[in-house]
Amino acid sequence: MEYNFRDIEKKWQQWWSENKVYKVSNDSPKPKCYVLDMFPYPSGAGLHVGHPLGYIASDIYSRYKRLKGFNVLHPMGYDAFGLPAEQYAIEHGIHPAVSTAANIKNFRSQLDKIGFCYDWDREVNTSKPGYYKWTQWIFLQLFNSYFCHTEKKALPISKLIKKYEEKGAVPKTGEFIPGKHFTAEQWKAFSEKEKADVLMRRRLAYCGYGEVNWCEALGTVLANDEVVNGVSERGGHPVVKKTLRQWYLRITEYADRLLEGLDKVDFSDAMKEMQTNWIGKSTGAEIDFKLWGGASPLPSPGGEEISQDPVKEKFFRTADSGNWHILKKYGRENRKDPTEAEDILWQRLRNNQLGAKVRRQHAIQGYIADFVFLEVKLVIEVDGEYHNEEEQKIYDDARTKFLNEFGLQLLRFTNEEVISNTEKVINEIKSSIEQQRQKFKTTAADGELSPSPQGEGRGEAKLRVYTTRPDTIFGVDFMVIAPEHELVEEITTDEQKQAVDEYIAYVKSRSERERMAEKKISGVFTGAYALNPFNGREIPIWISEYVLAGYGTGAIMGVPCGDERDHRFAKHFNIPITNIIGEYYTGEDANPTYDAVLENSDFINGMKMKDAIDVVVRKVEEMGIGQRKVNYKMRDAAFSRQRYWGEPFPIVWKNEIAYPLSESELPVELPHMDDLKPGPDAQGPLANLTEWINLPSPSGEGLGVRREVNTMPGYAGSSWYFLRYMDPDNEKEFCSRKAADYWGQVDLYIGGTEHAVGHLLYSRMWTKFLFDLGLIEHDEPYKRLVNQGMIQGSSRFAYFLTVNYSSLNSESKSTRVFLSKKWVDIIESDNTQKFISEKISEVLGKKIALHHVDVSYGEKPIPTHVDVNIVDGVELDIEAFKRWRSGEYANAEFILEDGKYICGVETEKMSKSKFNTVNPDDLVMKYGADTFRMYEMFLGPVEMSKPWDTKGIEGVHRFLKKFWRLFFKESNSPSPQGEGRGEAFLVTNDEPTAEELKVLHNTIRKIESDTERFSFNTGVSAFMIATNELTDLKCHKRKILEPLLILLAPYAPHISEELYAQLRNSPSPPGEGGGEASILNASYPVFEDKYVKETTKAYPVAINGKTRSELTLSLDVTQEQVEQIVLQDPIVQKWLDGKTPKKIIYVKNKMINVVI
RNA sequence: CCGGAUGUGGUGAAAUUGGUAGACACGUCAGACUUAGGAUCUGAUGCCGUAAGGUGUGGGGGUUCGAGUCCCUCCAUCCGGACCA
């Protein structure tokens, strides 16, 4: 009887499905085991052979654990929301719901063919309301929670409100900063809007502002990888950064716990390192540097006294050289100090008292305004008595003009006005704010939440940097600020303005990715200087894209002798380098050492760098110019997308305040839309659905309640799906506590490293959050993580030259001539084109009498991808190639080698466009699922990336056939169908020999340990070895084959199930309820040491480390005995050549080495 | 650029703790059986060499009786870098 895998696999897949053999119960006396594959996105391209790699590994493991007596949860489902479906809809007019459903259907049918043991009754789909209701529900919990820094966990926001009502938000130590801190009384006086804004600063899901890649031409926001060289991938339109209101998850609050949690999980060190780096915790200090105008003092015009305050000095110097009166202005200010009037006004304006945030003494384009409401562009000036002075008037007018040019409204009061008629002044300011607000249609929320790296409520002109190396403070030779830094505009001098503007424009056109990937050093000098607070040294301030706005303060101090990037920067721009680390710095390369003894470093001279760090930080804190600071590279996770195909937010807006919907209003279903074009003002498509957006006001006031139109990102649904599998149909909860407690953590999670920092961190955070709320009992979702390698494509290339020729009786023609690889290599190396040209003439000449042939000399053969499915190894199926691509190459000519066309080979990413994808369906059809599964495993270690080559699959298929022949004699003559086993069945009930038992038990040990440690490739090879050995021994004994079959069942379930049934003398599947007859419920064979014990060992005998001989010795020989035996060995004697060995090394059970 | 990983025959790979490098397969070559072979079986196969032998795990250096494995250094390739999932 032959191994008819098609019938066998079909039969058993059907039987498994009909009998629901993979259905898993949440209630079992067996120990539980949760094996999970990373959530697949059902892409339109379907599965290629790379995808199932991890699924097969986890399937083998699941089946293995089941045989070992575990209740195994092994589910599968779909991360069905996502950008590709939306993009497909825009391009092809197919609704995402439709294409996604079709993709899922295809996906499922592909999976089914491979014979996985998923419990399909637990399938989940993130785009179904029954699922995303709970995604929205969890979002609401995040929205309604804050992170308590004392308890280091999430708590309900109601607790925070209570705290504010009772105690306000006052600092335990340090100064009370208006705008940041407030008293309980102030809290109570806040408007609803103000309260909402304050709370928004703490919610775990919050609204803020963020930059996106905006493409005006496409009217849409683009993903980073949709932007190439500053233009959109589709269409090549320009892309710029645009600031939009966005939702965020405050994952940064969990940074420390995400780091600590890594100690509790079994992830690879590489994975832990990647997450650690991503979180990027660093300890350092923030240090303020005062701004300074320039290196050499300008001659003092008119004998005016020059300010001693470098801050103000700076603005004098950066002004137009003709503006000598500005000096006067700052001279005046310098004398003035905060006036009584200013103080009065400040007390009335600060802290949002007029519904807008105010800054005092804030620098704008080289001017320092007394008060500025940035959000409404309103400037308040309080003047002394000297505004009648002629020149001051000129200046004031010029200034007003200037401010107007920048769209700033200026309001001017005298000191007396403010002091004597404060209310009037306040009212005037109030109405101006209103006017301005109308004018700009901005909201209070805009200004409130815009980042303010300068510190709240204080407009002093200083540059705050973050550094992890405060010890290098005296090695600072320049400052670098991010191009987006708030100070850029303010500090840039007129001379440098053009250069800076050009540079900013250049940076704006680049993606963050490109900025970080850029090798070339770029930057521009602002013209401004900062002062080193310790020695007063002037430090030039530069702008460069290698400093990112989002990290630290968006400004760094450049220490070229100690930092590689700073060093390159200094070299490139010829900035002199200060050496503070003596001979540690060679002048060639930076040395980031911590061990050097500091030089040129004032009060820390002679100190070791690592010791100096603390000294400097303390000094900085003492001086009040900065503080110790822990920083994280990780940023809060952007949680909204300007897209259609995602979860709608359960949020409505009223008067610019976000209100959560109640649980009873969930799910907020995604409304149907036919046209998915973007909404106005960079909003997502949902913004076009007026009737959906606008809701009647709950209090009956009519209009004004609008739905949130953003949708959630792809990782929303996938951040908690592992919990839904535990209780997929629960309509009352996202997952019952009972189910969550029963299944607990995922015991084994398999997926690619591409999720290392995205999905894995988010889902870990959500788990911690749900844990904080007391909804689940684990705060780490995945106990053990295995990363599968990527299967790359092995592309095949054909090479052609375009040849022009003419025959004697017709006009000239042009044709493509494909050259086999050999000729291509010859052309590339020897340049023997004449030879090739003759070949071409020869080929063409067979058909027509040639008159003239013209090969474009100097042109190399052009490689073109060939579909790997029409190439056998490297040999091209020319006939198939001619039919390929609707006959594009039907008329091409071929120059062969040995009658074959040999293709070139290159390893690339597997993708349709490279014609190197291999569909598992085809392989399953040709060789069967069992062969396919085992071959995928046989390719190499699961964790390793490797190129796919279908060639080797034959070997695995041969193995299964050989294995089959241990049970059945394959007859050459076809036997009548349905006859079942007859005399062809070879299995006997004879007692096995010691040798046979040794083979079996060696295999049990090997397979068990290999499966346990995911070494499936060596596992497959162990099956091959066992089968080869048993074939040699002509072993057909039940007592050997049945345990072997159980070992094989996780790897090749179909053939095992069939042979198991045959062994049980039941040629057809057991009937209903006959589950115990299935191999799935067999018990795993137990390894017994006694069958594999050895008494002797063939030792390699090495002379000076080189193996020269072999001696078989008993395992219990002593060193003396070994020396004696070894010295008598003729080969050893030959190598000794009469000499006495210096030493004989004998390692029991390993080797013997004779040292001469 | 930053971070991670990987480099072993013609190919995929094995060598679990520093101890016989290349198991198991693919491919290739030779042979057997056969009307036939893209079936099956047998043998050979890292490289140089008729052989003895030499040489060999990306390159260079080191530790060791002994290094694919440990250390230093250089190089190459692949993956990820926050709106692809």
Peptide bond into A667 cis (omega under 30): yes
- CB within 8 A of A1118, min separation 6: which ones? none
Q: What is the pLDDT of residue A857?
A: 55
Q: What is the pLDDT of residue A851?
A: 59
Strands of A602-688 (E only): list them.
Answer: 626-631, 637-638, 651-654, 657-660
- Say yes or no: Cβ of A880 under 7 A from any atom of strand B: no
Confidence of residue A985 (pLDDT cuts 50, 70, 90): confident
Mean pLDDT of A954-964: 93
Confidence of residue A1110 (pLDDT cuts 50, 70, 90): confident
Closest residue by C-alpha to C1' distance, nucleotide B14: A1018
Nucleotide nearest to A949 (CA to C1'): B12
Sign of CA dihedral A419, A421, A427, A432: negative
Mean pLDDT of A306-320: 35
- Say yes or no: Cβ of A269 under 7 A from any atom of strand B: yes
- Say yes or no: Cβ of A1156 under 7 A from any atom of strand B: no
Alpha-carbon distance A559 to A580, whole Å?
Answer: 10
- CB within 8 A of A870, min separation 6: which ones? A876, A877, A880, A881, A884
Confidence of residue A850 (pLDDT cuts 50, 70, 90): low
Res. A451: pLDDT tops 70:
no
Q: How do strand A791-807 and strand A862-866 relate by DSSP bridges?
A: antiparallel
Q: What is the pLDDT of residue A1074?
A: 41
Res. A218: pLDDT tops 90:
no
A605 phi/psi in degrees, rounded to 5: -55, 140
Give which of A753, A966, A688 is closest to A274, Cα–Cα: A753
Residue–nucleotide distance: A707 CA to B3 C1' (Å): 40
Q: What angle do CA A1040, A1046, A1052 make, to 5 degrees?
A: 120
Q: What is the pLDDT of residue A719?
A: 94
Nucleotide nearest to A1028 (CA to C1'): B24
Q: How far is CA A604 from CA A347, A475, A612, A614, A693, in A?
A: 42, 12, 6, 11, 63
Nucleotide nearest to A641 (CA to C1'): B83
Q: Say what the ipTM of the complex is.
A: 0.94
Q: What is the pLDDT of residue A129?
A: 96
Res. A345: pLDDT tops 50:
yes
Residue–nucleotide distance: A582 CA to B73 C1' (Å): 24
- Does residue A764 or residue A666 have the better pLDDT? A764
Q: Can you give the pTM of this predicted structure?
A: 0.81
| Side chain identity at residue A519, one-letter code | K
Which DSSP string do the residues of A804-825 spell out, in sequence order? EEEETTS-EEEEEEEE-HHHHH
Q: What is the pLDDT of residue A386?
A: 47
Closest residue by C-alpha to C1' distance, nucleotide B83: A223
CB < 7 A to strand B: residues 901-960, chain A: 907, 909, 938-941, 944-947, 949, 951-952, 954-956, 958-959
Q: Comparing A202-206, A310-314, A611-615, which segment has the lowest mean pLDDT?
A: A310-314
Alpha-carbon distance A238 to A1052, whole Å?
Answer: 53
How is residue A963 annotated by DSSP?
A: H
- Does residue A1077 or residue A707 have the better pLDDT? A707
CB < 7 A to strand B: residues 787-816, chain A: 790, 792
Top-confidence range, A133-137, A263-267, A847-851: A133-137
| Cross-strand pairs, A866 | A796
Mean pLDDT of A214-241: 79
Residue–nucleotide distance: A863 CA to B8 C1' (Å): 30
Residue–nucleotide distance: A1012 CA to B42 C1' (Å): 36
Give which of A1111, A1117, A1110 is closest to A1095, Cα–Cα: A1117
Q: Comparing A343-357, A628-642, A1133-1147, which segment has the lowest mean pLDDT?
A: A343-357
Q: What is the pLDDT of residue A136?
A: 97
Q: What is the pLDDT of residue A591?
A: 78
Secondary structure percentages of chain A, helix, strand, coil, to 5: 40, 20, 35
Residue–nucleotide distance: A1102 CA to B62 C1' (Å): 23
Q: Comparing A587-596, A641-650, A1141-1150, which segment has the lowest mean pLDDT?
A: A587-596
Q: What is the pLDDT of residue A319?
A: 32
Nucleotide nearest to A550 (CA to C1'): B82
- CB within 8 A of A663, min separation 6: which ones? A137, A140
- Say yes or no: Cβ of A718 under 7 A from any atom of strand B: yes
Q: What is the CA radius of gyration of chain A?
A: 38
Alpha-carbon distance A184 to A188, whole Å?
Answer: 6
| Side chain identity at residue A181, one-letter code | H
- Say yes or no: Cβ of A243 under 7 A from any atom of strand B: no
Under 8 Å between Cβ of A165 and A187:
yes
Alpha-carbon distance A1056 to A934, whole Å?
Answer: 13
Confidence of residue A983 (pLDDT cuts 50, 70, 90): low
Residue–nucleotide distance: A559 CA to B27 C1' (Å): 57
Q: A95-108: per-residue pLDDT in tens?
A: 999 999 999 999 99
Mean pLDDT of A681-693: 90
Strands of A6-127 (E only): list them.
Answer: 32-37, 71-73
- Say yes or no: Cβ of A249 under 7 A from any atom of strand B: no
Top-confidence range, A305-314, A603-612, A795-804, A834-843: A603-612
Nucleotide nearest to A640 (CA to C1'): B83
- Say yes or no: Cβ of A713 under 7 A from any atom of strand B: yes
Q: Comparing A354-363, A705-714, A1005-1014, which segment has the lowest mean pLDDT?
A: A354-363
Q: What is the pLDDT of residue A331?
A: 37
Greatest alpha-carbon span in chain A: 122
Chain B, protein-covered positions (CB within 7 A): 1-6, 11-16, 19-21, 23-27, 36, 39-42, 65-67, 77-85
Nucleotide nearest to A270 (CA to C1'): B4
CB < 7 A to strand B: residues 182-241, chain A: 210, 212-213, 221-226
Residue–nucleotide distance: A1041 CA to B44 C1' (Å): 32
- Say yes or no: Cβ of A88 under 7 A from any atom of strand B: no
- Say yes or no: Cβ of A1100 under 7 A from any atom of strand B: yes
A799 phi/psi in degrees, rounded to 5: -120, 130
CB < 7 A to strand B: residues 394-453, chain A: none
CB < 7 A to strand B: residues 288-307, chain A: none
Res. A978: pLDDT tops 80:
no
Res. A323: pLDDT tops 50:
no
Q: What is the pLDDT of residue A507?
A: 77
A884 phi/psi in degrees, rounded to 5: -65, 150
Q: What is the pLDDT of residue A59?
A: 96
Q: How high does pLDDT run on average in chain A?
A: 82
Nucleotide nearest to A961 (CA to C1'): B40
Closest residue by C-alpha to C1' distance, nucleotide B24: A1021
Under 8 Å between Cβ of A111 and A47:
yes
- Say yes or no: Cβ of A39 under 7 A from any atom of strand B: yes
Q: What is the pLDDT of residue A847?
A: 61
Nucleotide nearest to A1142 (CA to C1'): B65
First to last CA, chain A: 62
Q: Comparing A279-283, A402-406, A705-709, which segment has the lowest mean pLDDT?
A: A402-406
Q: What is the pLDDT of residue A627?
A: 87
What is the three-class DSSP state of A152?
coil
Alpha-carbon distance A99 to A90, whole Å?
Answer: 12
Res. A561: pLDDT tops 90:
no
Residue–nucleotide distance: A1111 CA to B66 C1' (Å): 18
Give which of A154, A8, A245, A206 is closest to A772, Cα–Cα: A154
Confidence of residue A390 (pLDDT cuts 50, 70, 90): low
Where helices occur in A976-1015 by DSSP H, the ranges are 994-1012
Alpha-carbon distance A998 to A1021, whole Å?
Answer: 17
Q: Hunting for tokens 């889902």 — which residue is that?
A: A763
What is the three-class DSSP state of A297?
coil
Res. A1076: pLDDT tops 80:
no
Alpha-carbon distance A117 to A919, whole Å?
Answer: 21
Q: What is the pLDDT of residue A980?
A: 45
Alpha-carbon distance A72 to A913, whole Å?
Answer: 39
Confidence of residue A996 (pLDDT cuts 50, 70, 90): very high
Residue–nucleotide distance: A871 CA to B49 C1' (Å): 38
Q: A878-888: per-residue pLDDT in tens?
A: 888 888 888 88
- Does residue A938 or residue A348 have the better pLDDT? A938
Nucleotide nearest to A86 (CA to C1'): B84
- Does residue A343 or residue A56 have the better pLDDT? A56
Q: What is the pLDDT of residue A303?
A: 35
- Say yes or no: Cβ of A1096 under 7 A from any atom of strand B: no
- Say yes or no: Cβ of A170 under 7 A from any atom of strand B: no
Q: Which two tokens stand for residue A958?
A: 């041969």
Which DSSP string do the residues of A528-564 spell out, in sequence order? EEEE-TTT--EEEEEE-TTS-TTSTTSEEEE-TTT-H
- Say yes or no: Cβ of A1024 under 7 A from any atom of strand B: yes
